[in-house]
Amino acid sequence: MTGLIAITRQVSPAINQCELTHLERQPIDWQRAQAQHREYVEALRSLGVEVVSLLPRLDLPDSVFVEDAAVVLDDCAIITRPGADSRKSETDLIAQVLFPYRRLFHIQAPATVDGGDVLVVGKRLFVGISSRSNQDAVEQMQGFLTPLGYTVHPVKVTGCLHLKSAVTQVGENLLLVNPTWVDRDGFPGMQFIDIDPSEAYAANAVLVGDHIIYPSAFPQTRKRLEAAGIKLVAVDASELAKAEGAVTCCSLVFNK
């Protein structure tokens, strides 16, 4: 085992009532989404991660996207305040799950932030300023984390829902990026792999040890990753992609 744990939640039967911001609504096949989510959980387990699988919630259509409810660091966890009102009650459920593992901080109004807007690279947090996350959240996070030795950096996001739709970590100091949605200059000291321009949503990957979990829908960007020596476990995430979800959204991965 890797010493990593992942919190996941099974797909809500109400997933077709999910929030949408940048995509047109399409029917989501719940049974297929469930099967794809099980494949994703098995991918985590194949990399030595202990998975905690929470039961689905009929009353919370977006609750499979557990990443948005918290940011888990080695020293603490921040319970978010999601930008969509329909998702705000998800955070209490995740706080209960994380309480045995971490000291908890809670984002308060008027701040809003989704975990999908927070990219953690070592002791640096890059926070997307988006339709879901605001500057008030950045300032609260700075207050929580500066005494613990972290720095928090706001980054402007355009064209997509979350920062991690535009950029994710795929190596120690290596980011996978869609440069049309986020400016590389916001990440000083980092190296970059650009997505293939034909695959706008290809910048989302889950880094687990020296592997990434990566959607099978982006073969051209996958070639770029493999050419850089990155080891991948590919999964089909096509149904949850219709809900503006991606592979990072579906888990909270952290050191036990």
* pTM for the model: 0.95
Reported for 189-198, long-range contacts at CB under 8 A and 24+ positions apart, including other chains, are 190/121, 193/224, 193/225, 193/228, 194/224, 195/221, 195/224, 196/220, 196/221, 196/223, 196/224
Q: Give the type of residue at 15.
A: I
pLDDT at 19: 85
Catalytic residues: 162, 249
pLDDT at 18: 79
Mean per-residue pLDDT pooled into runs of 10, the chain (256 residues) = 91 89 87 97 98 96 96 98 92 97 98 98 97 97 98 96 96 97 97 98 97 98 98 97 93 96
Which domains, ranges and CATH numbers included, belong to the chain? 4-255 (3.75.10.10)
pLDDT at 1: 56
pLDDT tens digits, 192-213: 999 999 999 999 999 999 999 9
pLDDT at 107: 98
What the block records as the tokens of 38 is: 């099980």
pLDDT at 220: 98
